């Protein structure tokens, strides 16, 4: 049975089926429409050179720094590199799979602005059993998940 993610109906039981039972997933077409719509909106803002925090500005104390077009092209990659610092033992495979699944489900709301191919790649990683090594310790910032999510993001970038 394939589990369909829509951003609203993911249950603990379904997380366990994917994380521990290697159940396949798919993304509901309406969720993909939301993801694409949000990305299109972000692309328009970028094209109009509107200032968008974390996209064409620095973050944190550097939030007032507006990046040049050349810097924007490299910034997202460097942002992931700078946060992908971890230490300690790696999380178990099922924990990392659950985290990836949760992140995909979050993106299905269509509020992230990421390219649809990112969600599709994360889905394929789960479906093909590709699991990044994510360290148990080493968070950056108040959210607590920046470091683990950055470590996860290295794999689809071809870096992890």
| Nearest by Cα to 132 from 122, 117, 140, 141 | 122
53, 78, 81, 87: the catalytic one is 53
Instruction: Give catalytic status of residue 75 as yes or no.
Output: no
Residues tagged active-site: 53
């Amino acid at each position: 049975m394939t589990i369909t993610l829509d951003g609203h109906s993911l249950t603990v039981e379904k997380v366990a089926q994917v994380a521990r039972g290697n159940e396949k997933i798919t993304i509901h077409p309406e969720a993909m429409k939301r993801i694409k719509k949000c990305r299109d909106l972000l692309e328009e803002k970028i094209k109009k050179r509107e200032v968008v925090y974390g996209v064409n500005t620095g973050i944190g104390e550097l939030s007032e720094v507006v990046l040049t077009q050349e810097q924007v092209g490299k910034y997202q990659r460097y942002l992931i590199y700078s946060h992908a610092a971890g230490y300690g033992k790696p999380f178990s495979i099922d924990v990392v799979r659950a985290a990836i699944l949760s992140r995909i489900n979050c993106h299905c709301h269509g509020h992230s602005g990421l390219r649809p191919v990112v969600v599709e790649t994360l889905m394929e990683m789960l479906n093909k059993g590709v699991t990044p090594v994510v360290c148990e310790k080493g968070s950056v910032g108040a959210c607590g998940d920046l470091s683990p999510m950055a470590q996860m993001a290295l794999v689809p970038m071809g870096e992890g």
